[in-house]
Structure 1
Amino acid sequence: MVSRPHTPALADLPYRPCVGIALFNRDGLVFAGRRRLDGDPGLGGALGGHAWQMPQGGIDPGEAPGDAALRELYEETSVPAGSVRLLGEAPGWYSYDLPTLASGKLWKGRYRGQTQKWFAFAFLGSDDEIDIHHPGGGSHKAEFDDWRWEPLDRLPELIVPFKRPVYEQVVAAFAPYARPA
């Protein structure tokens, strides 16, 4: 009999700790970036045309979630901490599971999905500060190939379906910020 290494069931895996960022402009619209799909292991098929999302990313070991949010925002959009003001923080952590199609391919199969702490920031700068093609001053790989400002309540219909419940919670938590300043 051939022995095979044990592969844990998806439900037995932990969630990857992450942050999400809702970046609001002066008109009360939120930043939405379209994910690049080149080099995305297995997720492209799961997106089904719903490739728009807000910035998000992992929390480094020992890093505070608020610090991770500012770092991820810069790494994905080039927007520096000095160009934003914290509006609020979601009251809890929101989690989603990866679809089976992508579960063994992303994050080396170590996580079942993500648990995210969401932050709302007011964007104090100008649109020309946003650089998704050379994010983080060119020190990070571009995660988006396009971006635009959207009404917050429209984001759930733009996001991949398996993340939609999280986006619905974000919309409910941050609805007060979705007004012109």
Structure 2
Amino acid sequence: MTDTPPDRNALPYRDCVGLAVFNAHGNVFFGHRKSAGDPDQSAAHGSAWQMPQGGIDKGEDPLGAALRELHEETNMTSVSLLAEAPEWIYYDLPDDVLGKAWKGKYRGQRQRWFAFAFTGDESEIDVAEPAGGKHPAEFNAWRWEKLNRAPNLIVPFKRPAYEKVVEAFRDIPQRFTHV
């Protein structure tokens, strides 16, 4: 018996948020995903670097979800909202993950992206024990990168989505006086 892949068009998108967090130099935060617990198997598809992202809980507004996810993944709370992408940004899972990631319920993600300025000290960032150790670590390393490099750091199947993120927030790095 062979596994028949699900009908992609019959599956919905998972509602999520994505976060572009900029430091005082206009660079954006990237986390390196741990391979264990990687639902979309980013590491298996060529890169484990990504910006923070996560699901919107039932009844939760996207901005609230963004702040929650940021704390749960990075421990950051010292942020100031800079912008919101003008539209939802979508990506589809690759065929080999379809029907497996997120318990096979979704074809990909529909993301609402937010840009934040990080206003705290870097000692606040803790990807090993985020949310004060109350949330499992999703990243095992982090770094600051130029926003325009984002599409080349992400897994290929998310690249078109990250190109839209770069377009939505392209003016933000120039806002910082230390660039």
Under TM normalisation by the shorter chain, which class is it? over 0.9
Q: Residue 60 of structure 1 aligns to which amino acid in structure 2?
A: D
Normalising by structure 2, what TM-score? 0.92
Is 1:64 aligned to 2:33, yes or no? no
From 56, 76, 81, the equivalent of 1:79 is: 76
SS for the counterpart of 2:126 is coil
CA contact (8 A) 1:42 1:101 kept: no
Give how far 1:11 is off.
1.7
Task: List gaps (5 residues or longer) in structure 2.
Answer: none
Q: Residue 169 of structure 1 aligns to which amino acid in structure 2?
A: K
Structure 1 stretches of 4+ moved >2 Å:
38-42, 44-47
Normalising by structure 1, what TM-score? 0.91
| Structure 2 residue aligned with 1:38 | 36
Q: Residue 124 of structure 1 aligns to which amino acid in structure 2?
A: T
Structure holding more helix per residue? 1
* Distance change >3 Å, CA 88–CA 40, structure 1 → 2: closer
Cα distance in 1 between the residues matched to 2:40 and 2:54 = 18
* Distance change >3 Å, CA 39–CA 74, structure 1 → 2: closer
Cα distance in 2 between the residues matched to 1:22 and 1:178 = 11
Cα distance in 2 between the residues matched to 1:170 and 1:147 = 19
Task: List gaps (5 residues or longer) in structure 1.
Answer: 1-5
Cα distance in 1 between the residues matched to 2:44 and 2:64 = 30
| Structure 1 residue aligned with 2:119 | 124
Give how far 1:17 is off.
0.1
Superposed, 1:15-164 pairs within 5 Å as 15-40=13-38, 43=41, 46-48=44-46, 50-80=47-77, 83-164=78-159
Give how far 1:74 is off.
0.3
Give how far 1:148 is off.
0.3
SS for the counterpart of 1:101 is coil
CA contact (8 A) 2:6 2:98 kept: no
CA contact (8 A) 2:33 2:49 kept: yes
The percent of aligned pairs where both chains have the same amino acid is 60
Q: How many residues align?
A: 176
